[in-house]
C-alpha cells in the first residue's frame, strides 16, 4: 500500500514537472508580463532582454525568488532598480520552486536571443486616448458596464477619488494615482492586461480584462490622476447616513416579522383590551 502511494506521488511529480516545462511561457505571461517586456522597453519593471548579461545567474535567481530581501539587504543594483521603477517593489511570486526559477531564467534567455520576442511589445494599440474613453472607463470601473469576460468590477475592491456611492471598496489599494505610480500608459495597460498580484492574479486569470476594455480604464485612471480631487469627507458622511437608513430598514423588517409576538396578556386584559 505504502509503496503504491510512493509510486503514485513520484509519477505525479515527474508528470507535473514535464507539464510545467511546456507551460513556462504561460507562467511568464501570467506573473511577469504585466510589468516586464522582453525587448519592448521598460514597463513598470525593466526590460528583461539580455538580462543574463547584466547580472550573474545566481543574483538573478535570488532576486526572482525574493525581491524584497535583496532590496532590504542594501544591494546597490537592486536599489537602483527600485528607484527606476518609482518605488514599486517587485512582488514575491507565489509557488516558485528552484525548478520553476531555472525554467524562467532559461525562457528569458531563449526569448532574448530571438529577433522579435512575443513579449517584445505591448499588444495594446497605441492609439491616443479620447474623452469618450474616459466615460467608458468610468462605467467599467464603477460597474455600470459589466466587464466582457465577467471579471469582478474594479470598484468592488478599489477606490478612485471617491467615485461611486460609498467611495469604492477598501480591500485593494486606492487607485487615484495609479497612473503615475506605475509609470504611465504603457505599464498600466500591461498590468491591466494580466494583473499579477496575489489577489487579482487568480481571479483575472480566469476572467481577463478584455483588450478593448484596457484603454478606456487607462484613460479613466489618467483623468483621475490629473484632476486629483479629494472627496473623502463627503463619503464618510454618506456612510453614516447610509448606516442609519439601513438600520431603519432592518428595524421595520423586524417589526414586520415579529410584530405579532406576544407582548402582554394580563395588562391588556386588565385594561379591557381582550
Q: Which residues of the shown chain bind other proteins in the complex (CB under 8 A)?
A: 257-258, 260-267, 269-270, 274
The helix/strand/coil state of 263 is coil
Does an H or E element contain 224, and which? Answer: helix 211-227
**Cell numbers linked to 83:** 528607484
Please identify, using beta-carbon distances, which residue of 113 and 265 lies nearer to other proteins.
265
Per-residue exposure over 257-273, b if at least 16 CB sit within 10 Å of its own CB, e if not: eeeeeeeeeeeeeeeee
* Minimum CB–partner distance for residue 248 and other proteins (Å): 19
Q: DSSP letter for 154, please.
A: G
Instruction: Please check whether residue 249 is in contact with residue 161, taking contact to mean a CB–CB distance below 8 angstroms.
Output: no
Please identify, using beta-carbon distances, which residue of 83 and 260 lies nearer to other proteins.
260
Instruction: Please check whether residue 216 is in contact with residue 223, taking contact to mean a CB–CB distance below 8 angstroms.
Output: no
* Minimum CB–partner distance for residue 189 and other proteins (Å): 50
Let me know how long the chain is.
274
* Minimum CB–partner distance for residue 246 and other proteins (Å): 18
Please identify, using beta-carbon distances, which residue of 87 and 259 lies nearer to other proteins.
259
Please identify, using beta-carbon distances, which residue of 72 and 268 lies nearer to other proteins.
268
- Report the phi/psi class of residue 114: left, alpha or beta, with left for phi > 0 and alpha for psi in -120 to 50: beta
Please identify, using beta-carbon distances, which residue of 234 and 265 lies nearer to other proteins.
265
The Cα 186–Cα 182 span in angstroms is 9
Sign of CA dihedral 25, 29, 32, 38: positive
* Minimum CB–partner distance for residue 255 and other proteins (Å): 12
Query: Cell 521598460 identifies what position?
Result: 42
* Minimum CB–partner distance for residue 256 and other proteins (Å): 12
* Minimum CB–partner distance for residue 222 and other proteins (Å): 50
Please identify, using beta-carbon distances, which residue of 3 and 266 lies nearer to other proteins.
266
Amino acid at each position: 500500500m505504502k509503496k503504491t502511494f510512493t509510486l503514485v506521488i513520484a509519477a505525479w511529480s515527474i508528470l507535473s514537472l514535464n507539464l510545467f516545462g511546456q507551460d513556462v511561457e504561460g507562467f511568464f505571461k501570467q506573473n511577469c508580463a504585466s510589468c516586464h517586456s522582453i525587448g519592448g522597453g521598460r514597463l513598470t519593471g525593466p526590460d528583461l532582454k539580455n538580462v543574463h548579461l547584466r547580472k550573474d545567474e545566481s543574483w538573478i535567481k535570488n532576486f526572482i525568488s525574493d525581491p524584497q530581501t535583496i532590496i532590504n539587504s542594501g544591494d546597490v543594483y537592486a536599489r537602483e532598480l527600485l528607484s527606476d521603477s518609482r518605488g514599486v517593489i517587485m512582488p514575491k511570486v507565489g509557488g516558485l520552486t528552484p525548478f520553476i526559477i531555472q525554467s524562467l531564467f532559461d525562457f528569458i534567455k531563449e526569448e532574448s536571443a530571438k529577433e522579435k520576442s512575443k513579449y517584445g511589445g505591448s499588444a495594446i494599440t497605441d492609439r491616443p486616448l479620447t474623452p469618450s474613453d474616459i466615460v467608458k472607463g468610468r462605467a467599467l470601473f464603477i460597474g455600470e458596464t459589466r466587464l466582457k469576460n465577467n471579471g469582478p468590477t474594479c470598484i468592488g475592491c478599489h477606490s478612485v477619488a471617491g467615485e461611486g456611492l460609498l467611495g469604492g471598496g477598501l480591500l485593494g489599494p486606492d487607485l487615484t494615482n495609479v497612473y503615475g505610480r506605475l509609470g504611465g500608459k504603457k505599464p498600466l495597460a500591461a498590468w491591466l492586461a494580466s494583473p499579477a498580484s496575489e489577489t487579482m492574479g487568480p481571479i483575472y486569470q480566469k476572467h481577463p480584462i478584455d483588450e478593448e476594455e484596457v484603454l478606456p480604464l487607462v484613460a479613466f485612471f489618467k483623468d483621475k490622476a490629473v484632476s486629483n480631487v479629494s472627496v473623502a469627507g463627503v463619503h464618510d458622511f454618506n456612510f453614516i447616513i447610509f448606516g442609519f437608513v439601513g438600520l431603519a430598514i432592518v428595524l421595520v423588517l423586524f417589526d414586520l416579522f415579529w410584530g405579532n409576538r406576544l407582548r402582554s396578556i394580563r395588562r391588556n386584559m386588565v385594561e379591557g383590551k381582550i
